[in-house]
Every structure is written in C-alpha cells, then in structure tokens.
Amino acid sequence: INNTYHSAMMIRARRIPPLLSRVTGNGIYRVLLLDADGELLGHYDDGESDSVSENSVRAESDDVPPPPRSEEGGRASRRDRILSVGVGALGSIITNVVGDYDRAGYDLLGQGAAGPLGSLVVELEVARIGIASAGGGYYVAAVADVSVELGLLRSRLAALGSFLEDSVASLM
C-alpha cells in the first residue's frame, strides 16, 4: 500500500476566523470567505463586537446588525457605518458582483477565453471592498476604510486566497 501525503488539508471551521484575522488591521475591518453562491463559510470583524443583553430582543435573522452609533451620541463613525452591513447580505452582494464580472468577461472575451476572477477592488463612498479568488468558486473579500491603499488591500487578499486555495479545493 502506497501511503502518499496530500498537501491539501481541509481547514476546520473554528480555524477560519483566526486565519482571516491575519488580513485585518491598518484600516481593513472585515474579512469574509465565501463560495460562488454567496454562502458565508467564515468571517472576521476587527474590533469589539456589541454584546446583546439578556433583556434585549434579537431580530429573527442574526444577519440584521444593530443600528450604527457613536460614542458621542451623534453621527456614527465611518468604521461603524462600514460594519453596520450584515455579513450575510454583504456576501450575497459581493458574489452577485463577482458573477456579473465573470459573465461580462465571458461575453467580451468570447467562449472559453475568460478566466476566473483574479481580484477586484470596488471603491465606495465610505469603504473599499476587495475581492480575490481562493480557487474553485471560492472568494475572500475584505471591507476597508477608503484611506487604505489599494495595493495593500489587494496584496493581502491575494496572499490569503493563494494560501486557502488547496484547502477549499478539498471542499468540492
């Protein structure tokens, strides 16, 4: 019997958030691991999360975030506004955008000529969203402040996507 060691190892679910946390910092607040259907495989938010008291009523969906608030009672900080979007909704939006870009590339470049999405950075009014392929229909995405350098965001996501490629291949 030939015992061959396979370099592709499946990542345990509890290990995903600490792995994703390595990308955060320097204005990168949230990182997600998604499949092509928008299913959230894991995420990490940089910073403290709001705790829910026993007397408070939670929404039916855990994806509904609390309203953004600031320490001074005024307008919410940019970071709070960025993190106020639920991770499930964000994952769905991101995979829809990726799907549109894939279809557009396929249509523009002809049948079979379009390759998978390498990376994409979308600049919004309050945030930058970076997306990189993790191989086989899986993506890593990060939500960052508008002040984050595009190269930093793209390079961190590309490195994480490359690192995860073998692990997510075992999920297929």
pLDDT band at 9 (very low <50, low <70, confident <90, very high): low
Which range (55-59, 71-75, 107-111, 128-132) has the least confidence? 55-59
pLDDT at 110: 65
Given a cut of 70, whether residue 135 has pLDDT beyond it is yes
**Percent over 90 (pLDDT), the chain:** 41
**Percent over 70 (pLDDT), the chain:** 70
Would you say the C-alpha torsion 123, 95, 38, 26 has a positive or negative sign? negative
pLDDT in tens, 27-84: 999 999 999 888 999 999 986 443 222 222 223 334 444 444 445 555 678 788 878 8
The structure's pTM equals 0.74
Segment 10-20 mean pLDDT: 82
Q: What class does CATH assign to 13-46+62-169? A: alpha beta
Instruction: Enumerate the domain spans of the chain.
Output: 13-46+62-169
pLDDT at 152: 96
Rounded Cα–Cα distance for residues 83 and 8 (Å): 33
In 3D, which of 101, 100, 164, 155 has the Cα closest to residue 130?
155
- Sort strands 119-123 and 40-45 into parallel, antiparallel or unpaired: unpaired
Segment 119-142 mean pLDDT: 92
Given a cut of 90, whether residue 171 has pLDDT beyond it is no
R_g (Cα) of the chain, nearest Å? 18
More confident residue, 12 or 19: 19
